[in-house]
A and B are shown apart, each in its own frame.
Chain A
C-alpha cells in the first residue's frame, strides 16, 4: 500500500514537472514533436501509394530459375516481391488468321467463321502435345494448373469456363471445345454476345478472357475491314518446364509458320498484383470507417470549456493518427514488414488506442482553478490525472500482452502495432497535446481578459463591471452614479469563435481548395508513377531524343515496363499521351488513315484486297492491352487470389493461319449467307468507347449526388438537434422561431402565454413569494402584493407613508384559503403550532362580484398526500425526493433574491430618482404568511401586512444596510453590509391567544408558516447579532432545514443554527468571494464562488463532498434537483452536474449576457431567464423545449429574477413589469 502511494506520488510529481515544462516552452516542444513524428514516419515513404496498378519485373527466359523464398543479398533491381514460385505461368498462343485471298463471293461471316473454327484443331494439338526425352515424358496435363469447381455464384459460366482440369482458355470454350457445336451454331457472334454482361463493365469480360486480346482487336465482327482475326489460346501452367515449352513452341511454329514474325521470345514478365479491394471488401471497410468517424465525432464533442473546440478536437485526432503512423513507421524501420492490410486494421487500432486519455486530460486541466497561472494549471491538471492515465495505460498494455500470447501471427502483429502505437500515443499526448492545450488555455485567458477589459476600463476601480454585478454589495452612496452598459445588440454581434471559423472557411472555400489541391497532387503522383504513365512516357521521350538512345524496337530496358503504345519506334504514339492502340501495324499510310477515320468522321475506304497478316512489336506483349484486372479475374473465378502475389507471363507463341476461300465457304453454316450485308459500318468502336465514357460520367455524377444526399441524411440522423452543447442555434433564435421536436412538431405558441403584471413605475428590484402571494418592490420603493394565481394586484404599499390602498378581492380569496386551511387542520394537529380558524375580517362582503376561486384552490389542496402537510419544519432525517424537490422549487428562488440585484441597475436609475429617499430604499424583501419583511438600506427591518398594507412593526437596531433576508418560521435573519448577521424573532401577541395557522399552500411541502391576523400585535425582537460573521460583506444568505448559511466576499461560507444563532461551521474551500449558495432539506449545501468553483458540502458534518471548476468567472446561480446540480455563470454557460459524483453531465451555452436566473419547475424541467424571454429546458438531455417571449420588444431587459411558484407558474421581472408564466403541462403531470 505504501509502495503504491509512493509510486503514485512520484508519478504525480513527475507529471507535474512535465506539465510545467510543456507549458513553459510550447514552441520548442511542438517543433521537437513534429520533428520526431516526421522522423518516425520517414520509413513510410518506401511503402507504395494506394491506387497504383500492378508492378512488373522482367527477366530473361534462358537463365530463368524459380526464385528462392529467402531474400538474397545484392540482387540489384530485383523487387522484394519476387520471391518463391509464381502463382502460375501464363503461356499464350497468339493466333492470327485470315482468309486469303479475299474474293467478293465471300460474306462477312466468312471473315471469322473459318478462322475461329481452326481453334479446335490447334487446341487438339496443344492438348495432345507430348515431349519425351531422356528425363521422361511430359504432357500438358502434368504441367498445367489444375482447377476444380468454379465459384458457386458462377453457375452460368459453367458451360464456358473449364472445370476439373487444365486451365486452358480459348474462344473454343464458347462451344465447349467441340467442333461440331461450332459448326452447327447458326450465329457465332450471337453466342459470343450472349455471355457478355448486360450493364456497364469496367473489368475484364468473358470475351476478353477467352479471346485473350481486347474485344475490338479480335476482328470477330461483321465490320472487320482488315479481315484478320486475332485470338489467343491461354495455357496456365503451374510449373515451368523449359523443354516441354520449347518443343511446343517449335511444334506450333513448324505447323503454322509465321513468315514475317520477328517477335522476341527471350523475356518473361513477372507481374505482381496489389491488394485487391473489391466492392464486397469495401463494404465492411467502409462500415468500420463510418463507425470510426462516429466514434471520433462523439468523443471530440465532449471537449468543452476550451477556447477552440475544433482546434483541440483536431489536435486529438492528429495525436492518434500520427501515433499510428509513427507505429507503422517504427515497425517498418526495424524490419517488420506489415503483412496485415493496413487500411483494414487501422480503425481497430484507433479504437484500441482511443481518444479517452486526451479527453480526460483536457477535462482535468480545464477544471483546475482559473485564477492559477496557465503553467500551474497545466501541471496540476496533468498530475491530477497522472495516476489514472498510467493505470489505464498499464491495463491496456497488459491486455495487449495477453493478446500477444495467443500466438496467432495476425493477432501478434496487431498487438505489436498496438503496443508501439500506444507508446507513441502516450508520447504525443504528453508532449504534443499537452502543449497544444496549454496554448489553448493561454489564448482563452487572453480572450477573457479582452472581454472584460473594455467594460472595466472606463470605470473607477471600485465600481463593479457590468457583467459582475455581485462583486461587492453596493455601499450606500448618496451620489448617484452611472455605469454604461454595452448595448445588447452589440454584444449579440460577438459571434462565437467556432462560428467565426466556420464563416471564415465558408468565405474562403478553404476546405474545398485544400481537397482540390490534394486530389490534383495525388492524381499527378499516380500519373507519374503509373507503369503506363508519365514517367515511362518521359523516359521514352528522353531516350528517343538523345542521340545515344536506341531507337530500335525494345530500346528501353525491359524492366521499365514500357507499354507497347509508347514504343520508341512508333512516331504516332509519341505524339499523344494515350493514343488509341492499333490492332495491327499496317503500312504507315493506312494506319494513319484509320486514325483519321475515327477522328474526322466517315470516309470512304477501300478495303485491302488481300488481308495481310503482319506481326509487330505490340503483339509481343499483347496482354498489356488487356485490363489489368484480366488475370486476377480469371483466377478469381476459381477462388485463387493474385493479391500480393505474382504471375509469370511467358513470351507468346505466334501462329499464323492462312485459309483459302474454298475452306471458308466449306465451313459455312447454311444460315450465314442469309445475313444482311453490314448495315452501317460507321458505328465504330471509338464511338462506343465514347458512349461508355459518357455512361461512366453520368453514373459517377449520379453516385456523387447520391453520396451527398446520403451524407446529408446521415448528418440529420446523427445530430438531429443540438444537445445543449452548441448555443449558437439557441442564441440566434428569433421570436416565433420555436424549436421543433424530433417529429417536426412545434409546440403552439399560444399554449404558454405570459401574464403581465403592470403597475410599477420603475424597474423591479425585489421579488418574493410564498406561493400564494407575490410581493414585488421596485426602485421607487413601492411594494406591490399580487395574487399569484390570478395576477391581480392586491395591495400597494407606497414608499412614503403608510397609506394602504388595498384593491380587494383578496378578502374573499383569503376566505378560500382559510376554509382550506381548516379542512387540512387535522393533519397539522401534531405540530407544535397553535391552530386557529381565522375569523372573517371585517370587510368580507364588499366585493361580491369577484370570481369565486375556491374550487380551483380546493383542487390544489385536497389532492395533496397528507404527509406533505405534516412535514415538520426541520429535521435531521431524510425527506423524500418529492419533498425535497418541492421545497427546492419553492424555496431557492424566493430566498435572498435581494442580494442578487445588479448594482448597476440600482445605480443607473438612482439619478432619475432624485426625489426618492435613498435611505428608505428596499434592498431585501421576504414574504411569509401575510407578512412582508423588508430590509432597507438604512438598516431598518420592517414587517408589513401583505393584505392590508399596513406596517406591523419595524426594528431599527442595526444601522448598516440589510443586504439579504431570510424568513423562516418565526425567525428572520438579516445580513448586513458590514458583515454582521442579525437574528430576529417575530413574536405575535394574539388577543385571542391563538395563532391561526395557515395550511401549506400549493404542494405544501414547505414548513407551514403562521398566518397573522390583523388583530395580532406583532413585534420583532433582535435576539442575537453576530457582529463579525464575516470579515467582508455578506453576499448570500440562505436558510433551510433549520440552518442559515451565509456566503461572503471573504471566500468562506458559514453555517448557523437557526434556533440559537450558533455558528456551526466555517467552510473554506473557495478561492474567491461566494456568489451563490443553495441549501435544501436534505442538508446538502452547494456554494459557488467568483473563482468559478462549485463546492458541495455536507451540512451535518461540515465536510466538502466535491469541488469542481465549472465556469470561467463567477458562478451566478445554483439550483439543485435530487439528482443534479445546476449552475450558471458569468460565462453564459449553464452547467448540469451529477449531484452525487460531481461529474459534469453537460453544459448549455447561452446567449451572451442573458442573465443568470435559474429555476427548477420539476425534476426534469429547468427554466432560465434570457433577454426578454424565459426558456424551458429538459434537464435530462439539455434540450431547449420552449422559449416564451415576455413582451413585444425583443431587445427588452433581461430577466434577472425568477421565482418558481407552487402551482408550476413562474414569475419573473421584466423591466417594470412582472411576468407570470403558467406551465400547465407540469401541473397536470403532477396532479
Chain B
C-alpha cells in the first residue's frame, strides 16, 4: 500500500508540475496572440487580458497535465519505452521550438491562411520528427489536436468563447497545428518527468 500511496503522490506532483507549465505557457502564448491584434499595450489592457476568459489557462493546464501523464502511460502500455533523446536539454529545445512556432504564427504576416496552415503544419511535423519520432506520439498528437479543435469550434458556435480576431479563418488555420505541437511538447515534458517517478519509487522502497 505504501508504494501505492507513493505512486499517487508522485502522480499528483507530476500532474501539478505539468499543470503549472501548461497554465504558464497558455498565459504567455495568449499574450503573444493578443499582441498580433494589439501592437502596443497601453497599461490598462494587460489587466483585461488576464481577466478575460479566465478559464482558458486552467483548461490548458488541465489538458497539458492529462497529456503529460498520458504519454508515459501509453509508452509503458505499448511496452516500447521512449528512448529517443531523453535529456532535459532536448526537452528545453522542444519547448523553445514550440514557443517559436507560436511566435511565428502570431508575429509573422502570411500572405494567406493556406500558407499559414502549411507552414505551421510543416513546422509541427518537424517538431515531432526532431524530438519525438514515436508513432504513439504522432497518433496521440493528431487525435488530441483534432478533438481540441472540434471542442473549440463547438464552444465558439455555442457562443461560450469568442475569438478576438474578427478573421475567423485565420484562427482556424493555425489552431490544429498549435494543438499538435503543444501535445508533442507536453508529452515530451511528461515523459521526462516520468523518469523521475521511477527514481522516487526506488528510493522509497530502499527506505522501507
Contacts and interface: CB of A to CB of B under 8 A. Distances in A.
B96 interface: yes
A354 B93 contact: yes
Interface of B: 24, 27-29, 31-32, 34-35, 37-49, 87-89, 91-93, 95-97, 99-100, 103-104, 107-111, 115, 118-119, 122, 126, 195-196, 198-200, 202-203, 205-208
Interface in A902-941: none
Contact of B126 (A355, A399, A640): A399
A355 B92 CA distance: 12
Given A153-B47, A280-B31, A408 B42 contact: no
Interface in A378-437: 399, 402, 406-411
Interface in A337-376: 344, 347-348, 351, 354-355
A669 to B, nearest CB: 31
Q: Chain A CB within 10 Å — which of B42, B48, B107, B207 has the most?
A: B42
A1178 B202 contact: yes
Contacts of A291: 92, 95-96, 99
B87 A298 contact: yes
A540 to B, nearest CB: 33
A351 B97 contact: yes
B97 to A, nearest CB: 6
Contacts of B48: 152-153
A969 interface: no
A288 interface: yes
B111 to A, nearest CB: 7
Contacts of A399: 126
Contact of B99 (A279, A287, A1176): A287
A642 B107 CA distance: 17
A284 B32 contact: yes
Interface stretch (A449-457, A630-638, A951-959, A1030-1038): A630-638
Contact of B40 (A344, A636, A1164, A1178): A636
Contacts of A633: 42
Contact of A154 (B44, B103, B205, B208): B44
Given A408-B111, A408-B119, A410-B107, A636 B42 contact: yes
Interface string A695-715: 000000000000000000000
Interface in A140-165: 151-154, 156-157
A1122 to B, nearest CB: 14
Nearest to B207: A747
B99 A299 contact: no
A407 B93 contact: no
Given A280-B34, A408-B108, A348 B119 contact: no
A1185 interface: yes
A745 interface: yes
A308 interface: no
B77 to A, nearest CB: 20
Given A278-B40, A298-B87, A298-B92, A1229 B205 contact: yes
A400 to B, nearest CB: 11
A1120 to B, nearest CB: 19
A154 B108 contact: no
Q: Shortest 4 CB-CB distances between A and B: which pairs?
A: A298-B89, A153-B48, A295-B92, A153-B45
Contacts of A347: 96, 100
A292 B45 contact: no
Contact of A153 (B24, B44, B108, B198): B44
Contacts of A1226: 206
B92 to A, nearest CB: 4
B46 A348 contact: no
Contacts of A1181: 195-196, 199
A9 interface: no
Contacts of A278: 40-41
A294 B96 CA distance: 10
B160 to A, nearest CB: 18
5 contacts: A295-B92, A641-B40, A1178-B203, A1186-B206, A1225-B208
Interface residues of A, number: 69
A742 to B, nearest CB: 7
A299 B38 contact: no
Given A410-B107, A1176-B206, A1226-B206, A154 B199 contact: no
Given A355-B89, A636-B39, A741-B200, 7 more contacts: A284-B103, A348-B100, A408-B115, A639-B39, A642-B40, A747-B207, A1176-B206
A1165 B44 contact: no
Given A153-B47, A280-B46, A643-B40, A1225 B31 contact: no
A154 B89 contact: no
Contacts of A1229: 205
Contacts of A153: 42, 44-45, 47-49
A407 B206 CA distance: 59
A1192 B48 CA distance: 66
A355 B89 CA distance: 10
A276 interface: yes
B110 A408 contact: yes
Contacts of A106: none
Contacts of A348: 96-97, 100, 103
Contacts of B202: 1164-1165, 1178, 1180
A294 B94 CA distance: 12
Contacts of B95: 291
A284 B28 contact: yes
Contacts of B118: 406
A288 B115 contact: no
B99 A288 contact: yes
Contacts of A832: none
B115 A406 contact: yes
A822 B39 CA distance: 86
Contacts of B203: 741, 1178, 1183, 1185
A632 B89 CA distance: 40
B205 A281 contact: no
A1151 to B, nearest CB: 22
A284 B105 CA distance: 14
B46 A279 contact: yes
A1229 B104 CA distance: 51
Contact of B31 (A276, A284, A409, A741): A284
A50 B104 CA distance: 23
Contacts of B28: 283-284, 287
Contacts of B88: 294, 298
A1015 interface: no
A1228 interface: yes
Given A280-B49, A402-B122, A406-B115, A1183 B199 contact: yes
Nearest to B98: A291
A751 interface: yes
A302 interface: yes
Q: Chain B CB within 10 Å — which of A280, A635, A642 has the most?
A: A280
A751 B35 contact: no
A152 to B, nearest CB: 7
Contacts of B29: 284
A632 B208 contact: no
B206 A639 contact: no
